Amino acid sequence: MIRAVAAEWIIHDAMNLKEKRSVLKRVLTRTRQKYNVSIAETAFKEKWQRTEVSFAVVSDTRVQCEKETEQVLSFLDSFPEWERIKTEADWV
């Protein structure tokens, strides 16, 4: 089973692209280290307070995929620098 998730985020304190990329780099690196997911910025690359981050979870069962997806989203939500505004998830 493969679960693909795309989430839009607002980075409130970013005043330029450099600050946005600093937050993204730290969050994405920590997520990759903690979970076995592929994760990347996929939209709004030139907007400095908005981004879309997508990731994929692969597992042998649907339940495990859903559980890991929720864990990753909870981990991403734990960073105070940004706020999730929209989430879309699909089975591939």
What are 12's two structure tokens?
């409130």
User: Each residue of 13-72: pLDDT tens digit?
Assistant: 999 999 999 999 999 999 999 998 999 999 999 999 999 999 999 999 999 999 999 999
Query: What pTM value is reported for the model?
Result: 0.92
Q: Is the pLDDT of residue 92 over 90?
A: no
Mean of pLDDT values over 75-83: 97
